[in-house]
Amino acid sequence: MRVLGIDTTGPHCQVALRDGERIVAHTSERIGRGHAERLAPMVADLLGDIPPASLDRVIVTTGPGSFTGLRVGLSFAVGLGLPHSIPVLGFTTLHIAAHASPHPTAAFTQDVRRGETALLSKTAGHIPALEVLPTEDALERAANAPHHISDPVPDLIAATDLALTASPAEFPPTAFYARPPDAKLPGGIDPPKAHAR
């Protein structure tokens, strides 16, 4: 199975290509901003002579992260997959970290600002949906876990591995927002609520 991975949730712009168990290529640039300008050229360079229609799946990180970065990655992934009928899957950064971690029980946290922290508590290998809590509460719960990983950089190699067996229906490419963004859709409508996996 050939899988393209995309991450634009943070200061890094990442793309990766997996073909079954083999990692064909992985590129990561710390750019801060400007994902919209860099993503398409990075994907084009990564694929080279490989036609997009030959991809079996596209995965994209869904947050937490910046509103603009999330929209860039999600829009590109869906725009690439839709015309070729390629399934597009979305994973939160903490779900990816939990999948990549060798620890069967651990807490994963990410600061989402304004006094709140996203928390995912992996227990005995089970990875549940993440929660957004007041930072004090999230860190108190994380402190009770045998392992605590905070603010992980998304492991795109692990994400493409996860995509080999994950269900597109269970992991749709829907942005995870810790709270409604300040930006509004036309007509003053709030974007849809977060998908927390």
Q: What is the pLDDT of residues 27-86, one digit of tens each?
A: 999 998 899 999 999 999 999 999 999 999 999 999 998 889 999 999 999 999 999 999
Could you give the CA distance from residue 172 to residue 88 in angstroms, rounded to a whole number?
Answer: 7
Q: Once rounded to an integer, what is the mean pLDDT over residues 142-162?
A: 94
- Are 25 and 79 in a shared domain? yes
Count of structural domains within the chain? 2
- pLDDT over 70 (residue 190): no
Give the tens place of pLDDT for each residue, 7-42: 999 999 999 999 999 999 999 999 988 999 999 999
Could you give the CA distance from residue 134 to residue 118 in angstroms, rounded to a whole number?
Answer: 9
Q: Once rounded to an integer, what is the mean pLDDT over residues 168-196?
A: 72
Residue 130 lies in a domain: yes
Residue ranges in 87-172 assigned as alpha helix (H): 93-100, 135-143, 156-163
Range of the domain at 19: 2-93+152-163
Host H or E run for residue 17: strand 12-19
Categorize the per-residue pLDDT at 178 as very low, low, confident or very high, splitting at 50, 70 and 90. confident
- Are 116 and 128 in a shared domain? yes
Could you give the CA distance from residue 24 to residue 139 in angstroms, rounded to a whole number?
Answer: 38
Domain of residue 28, CATH code: 3.30.420.40
Categorize the per-residue pLDDT at 196 as very low, low, confident or very high, splitting at 50, 70 and 90. low
Q: Once rounded to an integer, what is the mean pLDDT over residues 167-190?
A: 78
Residue 191 lies in a domain: no
